[in-house]
Structure 1
């Protein structure tokens, strides 16, 4: 079924962000861009702009050099952190020499500066530059004509992503310890698609969307008396993005979500890609109470030294090890070793991909804390998860 916000056959409009702190002037610019058939988003500050950049990938940016909390020079420098190369129009009421210097900086950063405007300027001058932008953006046809990656870029801001939640159960008393949020794409024509990890080009806005919606869902559950800590998967590129830790903490404060109710999961390989940056941001997040899990342990080099080096609170044993436990002595030795090290560090251990009662018994016997897998439940959307919580745990035939 087609999205209510976007028909599969509707022409795809170019996306533009207008950044201007003067309310009246910003409104005029927005009206002009809408008339020229842009999809328009507006920001009055650098903070608002950076939030928009995390959630969207605009084709063009109209930017005032001076904003209440930052300036265009800082913004130009940070665009690279978001892997964005929009067409840019710079405008300013300052000395034109400053405008020229900022234009040169933007071009040297690889941005395509379509033009600059010294205030005051006429609507006709801005219209000329916006039309120039449109001529440089290829005609994209309709939504259904796009590659899946382009459709996903368009689908993220149109709320086409949905979250399913897979429970994690405690081995000792079968209590639910939390859920992992797994993203699916409700495609307008292909239906539910997932997982989406391979769409690396949009991983940053995709992760921000998942984070925001998972926290909102956690808060909604809590209002209804359901206490479910939530975990989400993150990538190294997401952690490297500008001000990630600060924005996550602000999001938690705004939504009134306790930091300890959020776990960020990342793989060994993601950590190893940029160890210094990873250590810096993970330490900051842990200092504020956010939990951090090493995901998919057992894939790749499986370096136990990572548990000593980084402030992990949890480790998740990959399903490939879980599936091999009963037949491969090396898998058992690996799991025994990681449990021994984790115990000494106070790190909780979750076994992923638990599908049989025999796997449950063995993992319980060797000392795992939690289990996650189809033996317990498939990933469920909110409504089905609520029903499972009301009835499912009592109906599970789990070994004691």
Structure 2
């Protein structure tokens, strides 16, 4: 069936289908029945499929693409289809005499084979968690990539910021940040990794040529933030990307305890003089780092668990309201992470948060797909 909606509402288990061949449509419906899941959704255009793939909310679990059509679709759609972190398993149904679609799995139109491929999903490959030498080599080869997760201003729902999230991609292997960033910090690669992420993210942001220039943030561990030369190499990277310094925000991660607040104050001041604001990341309930808000941070990001608890937990709401008041007195912006639905949005807005981030706004996306997210987000507001 064809499902059209201004708001993307496909169920997480839905099999999306981009096809016109009756044999491919029948095979996909047969596969969906074998999986005992929701019925297949027939998506007639690549643009409509892209809205499902990058719009706000949970990602569809499966997408079936008729073979031989890859070159007809936009680069943004193909980027989203090939993203191993999307949460959507993509399968191409072969058609005799047509070329394969590079980077995507192919099966024939027999229902059992298609169902098996869909059930198998598209999980990224694995890698030994202690392979520091491989990470060092990956840094040299440029294997660190980024995904952009959009953030919107709560007063007018306008996109104002993206967070650049690090990924490690090599042939047949793709790892999220939690699998390799702790390893980098243990193995002395944190500074190299941070600069690699900044370089890649800044160039991806510059390539978007957005009508209104979005700002970008990315995570920085404490040890790297305190290094005296950080502002200098940041200057080099933003100049190389052709962007102003104020397009960049840094997020101080919570992975290391702050023992010398005077040293941190000097680092924050040094960066601010060059135009780089720093956000205190993942501030949660009963967080001992709350005292750090007396330092010259540009803002604070609330931990997603705290934000998710707000609609039903009075103490969580009171904590956020208190943090917002404290931030207001110091001219800081407050970002609510973990905004997944209208309930968390209303709770965060009522508490006075400035910016919303979470799956209810947008998932982490390949940078070329960001303009398509913008179109899907605006459509969802209608």
Counterpart position of 1:236: 222
Following TM superposition, by how much is the alpha carbon of 1:147 offset from its aligned partner in structure 2, in angstroms? 4.8
Gaps of at least 5 residues in structure 2 are 1-126
Per-residue Cα deviation, 1:242-295 (whole angstroms, up to 9, x for no partner): 512222123323433211110000135646144233221211111121111010
Distance in 2 between the 1:312 and 1:145 partners? Answer: 37
2:242 pairs with 246, 256, 271, which one?
A: 256
Distance in 2 between the 1:374 and 1:146 partners? Answer: 27
1:380 aligns with 2:357: no
1:394 aligns with 2:378: yes
Q: Are the counterparts in 2 of residues 245 and 281 from structure 1 also a CA contact under 8 Å?
A: no
Q: Which has the higher contact order (CA 8 A, sep 6+)?
A: 2
Q: Are the counterparts in 2 of residues 167 and 376 from structure 1 also a CA contact under 8 Å?
A: yes
Distance in 1 between the 2:129 and 2:310 partners? Answer: 44
Per-residue Cα deviation, 1:310-368 (whole angstroms, up to 9, x for no partner): 21111100001011112322211110100111111111111001111111011111211
1:298 aligns with 2:284: yes
Counterpart position of 1:186: 169
1:340 aligns with 2:325: yes
Distance in 2 between the 1:318 and 1:364 partners? Answer: 15
Q: Are the counterparts in 2 of residues 269 and 300 from structure 1 also a CA contact under 8 Å?
A: no
Following TM superposition, by how much is the alpha carbon of 1:377 offset from its aligned partner in structure 2, in angstroms? 0.8
Q: Are the counterparts in 2 of residues 164 and 181 from structure 1 also a CA contact under 8 Å?
A: yes
Counterpart position of 1:331: 316
The 3 A distance-change label for structure 1 pair 348 and 148 is: same
RMSD of the alignment, in Å?
Answer: 2.3
Counterpart position of 1:171: 154
Q: Are the counterparts in 2 of residues 231 and 263 from structure 1 also a CA contact under 8 Å?
A: yes
Q: Are the counterparts in 1 of residues 221 and 255 from structure 2 also a CA contact under 8 Å?
A: no
Distance in 2 between the 1:300 and 1:153 partners? Answer: 37
Counterpart position of 1:284: 270
1:160 aligns with 2:139: no
Distance in 1 between the 2:129 and 2:224 partners? Answer: 25
Distance in 2 between the 1:385 and 1:175 partners? Answer: 14
Q: TM-score, normalised by structure 1?
A: 0.59
Distance in 2 between the 1:145 and 1:374 partners? Answer: 29
**Greater mean deviation of Cα atoms: 182-191 or 284-293:** 182-191
Find the residue that maps to 2:378 and give its secondary structure. Answer: helix
Q: Are the counterparts in 2 of residues 163 and 214 from structure 1 also a CA contact under 8 Å?
A: yes
Distance in 2 between the 1:388 and 1:281 partners? Answer: 35
Q: Return the index of the structure with the highest Cα Rg.
A: 1
Distance in 2 between the 1:333 and 1:393 partners? Answer: 30
Q: Are the counterparts in 2 of residues 155 and 161 from structure 1 also a CA contact under 8 Å?
A: yes
Following TM superposition, by how much is the alpha carbon of 1:397 offset from its aligned partner in structure 2, in angstroms? 4.5
Find the residue that maps to 1:312 and give its secondary structure. Answer: coil
Distance in 2 between the 1:275 and 1:319 partners? Answer: 25
Counterpart position of 2:181: 197
Distance in 1 between the 2:129 and 2:280 partners? Answer: 36
The 3 A distance-change label for structure 1 pair 242 and 345 is: closer
